[in-house]
Structure 1
Amino acid sequence: MTDWTGVRDRVLALAAVPGSDKVFGARAHGFALDAPLATTEVADLEAWLDVDLPEDYRSFLLHVGAGGAGPAYGILPVRREGSAGWRWVGELIEEVEPGMFAEKFPGGADPEATVAILAERPVQDDFDDLADLDAAFEAWEERLGEVQYDPRRTAGALCLCDEGCGMVVWLVVTGPERGRMWRDDRCNGTDLHPMRETDGSVSDFASWYLGWLAAAEAACGLDR
């Protein structure tokens, strides 16, 4: 069980520290947190998702907040939007069908599909006209995007954090990788991959969040 005692107060206190806005992403979230969710709200969220949330994220929602200040540009807040159900609020993710959260997280790329589409990359020597090359390359990029960004690639995961420049972080909620954090660098040509701590251990939500908090406090000259 993750002990979140005092964490909310520690995060909120950073807003009053001179120079804390220099922490990466702080100007976006301002070290503000949404109110924690009630036990009944978390139960409703899990029923809507049809999954049991990893314990550390679940207890974070109950004791720290439903979103706000956190690594990079913060934790996307999760909110109930009437009959539409629950939603992680942010421009970086599209609407997801609720049933996909309960599907097993696939855990990485489909090597065969990726290799096949990469092999079809247009080559300049095959074109006499640069306009034709540009058109072929544009069509190829669209097909590559369809393979790389197939929504089934991130089934069973929650998009929780915007790291900027198209990079995001996911929390896996199903399958063998359940409870682990995965970074999404597909915008840079790097595939989804599990995140690790400085000691090489895999990152779960608690280690990822508390590591950020400790680093933010250190950057602000707050020793613990």
Structure 2
Amino acid sequence: MESWDEGEVRARIREMAARAPERARFGADTHRYELAPPLPEAEIRAFEEEHGVELPAEYRSFVAEVGNGPAGPGHGLMPLTVPRPEADEEWAVDDEWKEDRLPGRLAAPFPLTEPLPGRIDIPTDELTPGTLMLADEGCGIYMRLILTGPRAGELWRIDPDWGGFVPVSPGFHAWYTGWLQRL
């Protein structure tokens, strides 16, 4: 597993913010290039115990060593433990975040063994047990981290109208650092 350098990640985010003070980059108005402090180990462990899961190491170490969102791809990373502060308008992402935290949902078996490309005619809540929603990409498209089964640790994009439910990254580190490197 690749490790995180909190100072390097935060410096890169500051650089991104300085290059785009008008926040024109997609999602920047939502995450505002801000990164919350890392979570204490006890809080992460309590989350894992409460939900009966072991977070994939790359994501777990990010939350423990770098920050608990929101600066990140799409409209930013969803926080692991504390919901997004109340906004002026309700977002569908708030419901996704809350649904993920229903008892047993995160520990449930991930139902897919193969990607599901194209339009999805199955209710998305039947496809997402065993996954954690990480980011909202807008228009009902979400990045989900697989938590259970042989695909645990992979990031999949669910786009029910056009793109299906397909893998986009073998792990959190590659996905997040890819975002940091794009300008």
Measured against the shorter chain, the TM-score band is 0.7 to 0.9
| TM superposition shift of 1:20 | 6.5
Q: Residue 101 of structure 1 contacts residue 155 of structure 1 at CA under 8 Å; is this kept in 2?
A: yes
Specify which of 156, 175, 178 is matched with residue 208 of structure 1.
175
Cα RMSD of the aligned pairs, angstroms, is 2.6
User: Which letter does structure 2 place at the counterpart of 1:11?
Assistant: I
CA offset at residue 14 of structure 1? 2.7
Query: Counterpart of 1:91 in structure 2: which amino acid?
Result: D
1:58 Cα shift?
A: 0.1
Q: Secondary structure at the match of 2:106?
A: helix
Inter-partner Cα distance in structure 1 for 2:137 and 2:95: 10
Per-residue CA deviations over 1:170-195 (Å, capped at 9, x if unaligned) read 00010011000000010x14421111
Does the CA-based 8 Å contact 2:131-2:145 persist in structure 1? yes
Q: Is 1:167 aligned with 2:167?
A: no
**Counterpart for residue 72 of structure 2:** 70
Identical-pair percentage: 36
Higher Cα Rg, which structure: 1
Q: Whose helix fraction is larger, Structure 1's or Structure 2's?
A: 1
Q: CA deviation at 1:57?
A: 0.2
Given that 1:183 and 1:194 are in contact with CA atoms closer than 8 Å, whether structure 2 keeps it comes out as: yes
Measured in 2, the distance between the counterparts of 1:71 and 1:50 equals 27
Number of matched residues?
169
Are the aligned partners of 2:130 and 2:148 in contact in 1 as well (CA < 8 Å)? Answer: yes
Shift of 1:102: 0.9
Match of 1:105 among 89, 107, 110: 110
Looking at structure 1, the residues matched to 20 and 53 of structure 2 have their Cα atoms a distance apart, in angstroms, of: 41
TM-score, with structure 2 as normaliser? 0.81
TM-score by length of 1: 0.67
1:22-171 aligned within 5 A: 22-80=24-82, 90-93=93-96, 94-96=98-100, 97-107=102-112, 147-149=122-124, 151-171=125-145
1:49 & 1:8 partners in 2: Cα distance? 29
In structure 1, the gaps of 5 or more residues are 82-88, 112-117, 119-143, 196-201, 220-224
Match of 1:191 in 2: 164
User: Structure 1 residue 90: deviation in Å?
Assistant: 4.2
Mapped partners of 1:180, 1:37: distance in 2: 22
Separation of aligned partners in 2, 1:154 and 1:209: 21
Secondary structure of 2:94's aligned partner:
coil
Tell me the amino acid that sits aligned with residue 103 of structure 1. A
Q: CA deviation at 1:3?
A: 1.7
Secondary structure of 1:48's aligned partner: helix
**What secondary structure does 2:73 align onto?**
coil
User: 2:60 corresponds to which letter in structure 1?
Assistant: R
User: Can you list the C-alpha shifts for 1:189-211, whole angstroms capped at 9, x where unaligned?
Assistant: 4421111xxxxxx4311100000
C-alpha separation between the residues in 1 aligned to 2:22 and 2:154?
28
